[in-house]
Amino acid sequence: MKRGFLSAADLTRDGALGLFALAAELKQQWKAGRRPSPLAGRTLALIFEKPSLRTRVTLEVGLIQLGGRAVYLSGHEIGLGTRESVADIARNLSRWVDGIAARVYEHATVEGLARHATVPVINALSDFEHPCQALADFFTLWERGLDLSRLRLAWVGDGNNVCHSVVLLGALFGTTTVVACPPGYGPDARVVEVVRRLGGRYELTEDPRAAATGADVLYTDVWTSMGQEAERERRLEVFRRYQINETLVGFARPSALVMHCLPAHRGEEITDGVLDGPQSIVLDQAENRLHAQKAIILQLLGGSPDDV
């Protein structure tokens, strides 16, 4: 992760654990009222083609808490790839800021930014991966003292960008990830190939109950993501068996945790009773986006952990 963070596969196991330890330290210090500024004077450009609640707030607040500043740039405002080429935007921003975080439609866009920038680039979401989310998710499990190498994590629903990052990071930790998707909606073959190369314990099934049986973690995401609105009605029909509800949770271990990256379409991929229930840790995940991303930013922008 020397030049940026575009994919969960950019990490090593030890590197990810190091980020967890740093995130935990940052979280503890902030809650204890300590306010260090290891990134005083540093700036991060936020390029957002897609709107966001959690990603924008946690990145901006994270920079503030570390003593830096964020500059928000909407895709429409800068004409990413239309008014000005991705390469030219990357080259210009590199002269002004210390890093770039980009939330984009196409993964090629964030790759292009990283290729032409001379400052670190963070993938804050693309159509192919959401590595910041997955890092926060596994940090949330890790800080609970769970042995990631012994977990069975069942992903139920669409094999989308978040799923890609979750199975990639799971492969680093030795987590058994079982993905339950309708035919044709599984993870991209390129991701599965990397998981296999990493020696990951990965399974794909069309049966959500088989995936949930004995699971320590149940994870889902919306069935229709931004940019897929035209497919909504078809997806509602295809995915209706893949809802995380009280019945499906009953197939998991009694201590199983329920995860969702949010926002949720309540009553579609997950019921209110499960999302708001005692096994749900969705708000812990959301909070930990802040702390995990602070660790990423601090490492990439060169702030010294000794200053924290």
Do 277 and 155 fall within a single domain? yes
Do 151 and 216 fall within a single domain? yes
Structure-block tokens of residue 114: 């990283």
Q: Which of 54, 65, 98, 133 does the annotation list as catalytic?
A: 133
- 306 lies in some domain: no
Q: Which of 103, 116, 152, 235 does the annotation list as catalytic?
A: 103
Do 46 and 157 fall within a single domain? no
The pLDDT, as a whole number, for residue 305 is 46
Do 97 and 173 fall within a single domain? no
Proportion of the chain above pLDDT 90, given as a percent:
90
In this predicted structure, the answer to whether residue 2 has a pLDDT above a threshold of 70 is no
The pLDDT, as a whole number, for residue 229 is 73
Q: What is the CATH number of the domain that holds 45?
A: 3.40.50.1370
Proportion of the chain above pLDDT 70, given as a percent:
96
The pLDDT, as a whole number, for residue 81 is 84
Domain count, the chain: 2
Averaged pLDDT for residues 145-154:
98
- 250 lies in some domain: yes
- Lowest average pLDDT, out of 69-73, 194-198, 228-232, 286-290, goes to 228-232
Using an 8 Å Cβ cutoff, are 148 and 247 in contact? no
* Strands annotated E in 171-294: 176-180, 201-205, 217-220, 257-260
The pLDDT, as a whole number, for residue 230 is 76
Give the single-character DSSP code of 260: E
Mark whether 181 is an active-site residue: no
Do 163 and 225 fall within a single domain? yes
Do 279 and 295 fall within a single domain? no
In this predicted structure, the answer to whether residue 308 has a pLDDT above a threshold of 50 is no
pLDDT tens figures, 225-272? 766 677 888 999 999 999 999 999 999 999 999 999 999 999 999 999
Q: Which of 130, 164, 235, 291 does the annotation list as catalytic?
A: 130
Q: Which domain holds residue 96?
A: 4-130+289-301
Do 86 and 158 fall within a single domain? no
- 307 lies in some domain: no
Do 118 and 145 fall within a single domain? no
Do 40 and 116 fall within a single domain? yes
The pLDDT, as a whole number, for residue 306 is 47
Q: Which of 127, 152, 221, 293 does the annotation list as catalytic?
A: 221
- Nearest alpha carbon to residue 151 among 160, 143, 141: 141
The pLDDT, as a whole number, for residue 226 is 66
**CA–CA dist 260, 156 (Å, integer):** 10
Mark whether 98 is an active-site residue: no
Mark whether 34 is an active-site residue: no
**CA–CA dist 195, 285 (Å, integer):** 23
In this predicted structure, the answer to whether residue 75 has a pLDDT above a threshold of 90 is no
Handedness of CA 251, 252, 253, 257 (dihedral sign): negative
Q: Which of 289, 291, 293, 299 does the annotation list as catalytic?
A: 289
Mark whether 133 is an active-site residue: yes
**CA–CA dist 139, 52 (Å, integer):** 21
**CA–CA dist 165, 269 (Å, integer):** 19
Averaged pLDDT for residues 105-130:
97
**CA–CA dist 126, 297 (Å, integer):** 18
**CA–CA dist 80, 4 (Å, integer):** 20
Q: Which of 127, 137, 261, 299 does the annotation list as catalytic?
A: 261
The pLDDT, as a whole number, for residue 302 is 82
**CA–CA dist 54, 125 (Å, integer):** 12
The pLDDT, as a whole number, for residue 164 is 98
Give the single-character DSSP code of 97: -
